Amino acid sequence: MDLSAFPYLQGNYAPVSEERDLAEAELRVEGEIPKKLRGAFMRDGANVAFQPNHYVYPLDGDGMVHAVYFKDGHVEYKNRWVETSHLKTERQFGRTIYGSVGKLLEVPPEVIEAGGEPSPVRNTANTNVLYHGGKLLAMWEGGFPHLLNNDLSTVGLFDYDGALQPGDALTAHPKICPDSGDLVSCTQRWDSPNYTVQVFDKHARHKQSIQVEFPRKGIIHDLQITQNFIVIFYAPAFHSVEKAMRGEDPFEWQPELGTKIIVIPRDGVSPQMTFETEAFFSWHFCNGFERDGKIVIDYVWINSIPFTQAQGTGVEKQPRRMYRMTLDPKSRAVTNEQFSNVFCEFSRIDERLMGKDYRLGFATCTNRDWGDAHGYNCTGSFDFETGEVALWEYGPEANAGEPVHVPNPDSDREEDGWLMCYVHNPGEGPFLSIIQAGDVAAGPVAKVHIPGRVPNGFHANWMQDLTL
């Protein structure tokens, strides 16, 4: 492959070509792995298998999951592509067939006649990997999730026993309610602007649908729950499949429309509320909760649509900051304030406090000027009680992934858990970093060094008690 034209396929963004199984003897553990850890840390990400025609970060690339399994203080590593129908078809023909989200390609008739995947839109399965209701799912917001086995082998598309209809696109960012165990998710469709909240119970059975109507399909990536509400951002960011098929820039940013905040009662009956504010974009919520009749939402703010749409050759320049928004349902007033000036992304929390008042947010951060390096070289914690931000820098050129909070099973305290993320530090190589959540500034208590390379990726989760 010649990847030289694509900034987001350089350095540690470049794909790996091998699927590997590494036993503990092939890994190098530095420090001490907490013996209480039993389960798996898994992270999804883009890993192109064939030469791309175009590459818009972070929307393109075949999904690959990298997993470190923990049991009794011991570790193992595996990585596997998600075996999507698009990837299998390209393997069958031994070449690139499908285009990019920014530049789609017509599927040749001989591919369809031979039983290949007919849709020109690749289900990348590259965005998130989640374990809920006994199902391990690789997720992408443009289609159905893929069901995986514990060893990362692919079972196939998963439609929640028929609850998902053909054309439904399930979000890659559902939230698990810590009280009920429900998965609060949503579907969107390519052929409709509307949005449907979908709730699945703790056994992954469909439980509830709530319709939200929009005049035009927006790019809505994440959702947040509070005790009584689901909150989404409807930014003036739009994508046109027709323009993508013509090879034109398919993304539009219309700041004059502002950003709307849609508040959806979880009872599915009470009236939905719309709040309006100046235009901003966001990929990710941190948390949300209700206090004194108001709704508080913490999230990563971006000043505009962050796509490097110019033929996939641009690099993102938009600043990103942790913000706290407060919504007053009585007056419909919105306050939207920057919490910190640290450049951050991929915000996470102790998910036992999802939708509840909390103290600590975590994110991948940078302490450098945001130039063409475009890397996150720190793990950060944001203390919403004291206002303090703590950073651990892995190295000036390092790239650190999304920090996942792994609860300490013997403690209810956020601070007593651990943060896990993959880090690539030039000169040191890739490792899984384990940091005490309450003392980020002290740096890793353990590192699991992985020979070879683990490319930069997207979302990760801890799968409690999932073992090989």
> Binding site for Fe cation: what residues are annotated?
173, 221, 284, 459
Helix, strand or coil for residue 245? helix
User: What's the CA gap between 122 and 101, in Å, rounded?
Assistant: 8
CA distances from 345 to 216, 249, 363, 398 (A): 27, 25, 6, 15
| Those residues with Cβ within 8 angstroms of residue 18's Cβ, 6 or more apart along the chain or in another chain | 79, 452
CA distance 198 to 170: 9
| DSSP assigned state of 108 | P
Using alpha carbons only, what angle is made at residue 96 by residues 91 and 99, rounded to the nearest 5 degrees? Answer: 125
Three-state DSSP state, 36:
coil
Minimal CA–CA distance to 125: which of 110, 104, 143, 109?
143
Q: How far apart are CA 31 and CA 447, in angstroms?
A: 7
The closest of 178, 230, 234 to 208, measured between CA atoms, is 230
Q: Which residues are annotated as a binding site?
A: 173, 221, 284, 459
